[in-house]
Amino acid sequence: MLTVELTKKWMELFYAQIDQEKAYLSELDTPIGDGDHGNNMKRGVDGVKDSLAKLKDPTLKETLRTIAMALISKVGGASGPLYGTAFLEMAKKCDESQEPAILFAAALEGIKKRGGAKEGDKTMVDVWAPTVKALTDGSFGTEQIKQAVASTKEMIARKGRASYLGERSVGHLDPGAMSSGYLFETFIAAGGVK
C-alpha cells in the first residue's frame, strides 16, 4: 500500500540516489543523447524535495500531485513530462486504490500515451512495463529491475534523440531506463514492497 509516509521516504531515497549518480546518468546520456540526463533529473528531485517540504499534512493525492508538478516544472526535456505524467496518473488513481501494482500500471499507461513509446523502443518503458508485470506476478525485486534496465543495452532506439543513431545506439544503456530503475529500487528500499 502506498502511503504518504512511504512516498516521502521513497522520494528522500530517490533524491539521494539521483544526487549520487548524477554524473553517471549524464555519462550514459552522452553517447546516445545530449549528456544532460543527470543534471535534468537533479533539478527535478531538488524541486520535489523543496515542494514536499512545504506541504502540511498532505493527503496521498496531494503528495503525488506535488511530486508530479515539481517534476513537470523543473526537469524539462522529455523526462519532465514523462516522469511528471507518471506521478500525475498515480495521483488520479490513488483514491480508488493504493496498491503499487495498480498505481504503477496507471503511471505506465500515462507514460506510453505521453511519449508514444512501446516496449522494445529502448526507453524508460522497457523498465516500467516489465516491472508493472512483475508486481502482479510476484517476481518484482531488485534483480528483476536490474535485468530490465540491462535489457535496454542491446536494443535499437526508436524514440527520442537516440533514435537518430539507429543501430549505433546498440551497446548503450538507456539513461531514462537507468533513472527509472533507480526509482523502483528506491521504492523497494523505502519499504514499498514486503
Task: Note the residues at the interface with other proteins (CB under 8 A).
Answer: 26, 30, 34-36, 39-40, 43, 72-82, 84, 114-115, 156, 158-161, 163-166, 168
CB of 113 to other proteins, least distance (A): 11
Q: How far apart are CA 163 and CA 144, in angstroms?
A: 26
Between 31 and 58, CB nearer to other proteins: 31
Between 26 and 131, CB nearer to other proteins: 26
116 conformational bin, left if phi > 0, alpha if psi -120 to 50, beta if neither: left
CB of 16 to other proteins, least distance (A): 20
Q: Nearest CA to 37 among 23, 53, 16, 17? A: 23
CB of 118 to other proteins, least distance (A): 11
Between 3 and 113, CB nearer to other proteins: 113
CB of 77 to other proteins, least distance (A): 4
Between 81 and 181, CB nearer to other proteins: 81
Between 120 and 141, CB nearer to other proteins: 120
CA 80 to chain centre: 10
Q: 37: Cβ–Cβ under 8 A, 6 or more apart, which residues?
A: 25, 26, 28, 29, 79, 175, 176, 179
CB of 80 to other proteins, least distance (A): 6
Q: Kindly state the cell numbers that stand for 60.
A: 496521498
Going from the C-alpha of 84 to that of each of 2, 67, 135, 141, 154, the distances in angstroms are 18, 7, 21, 24, 27
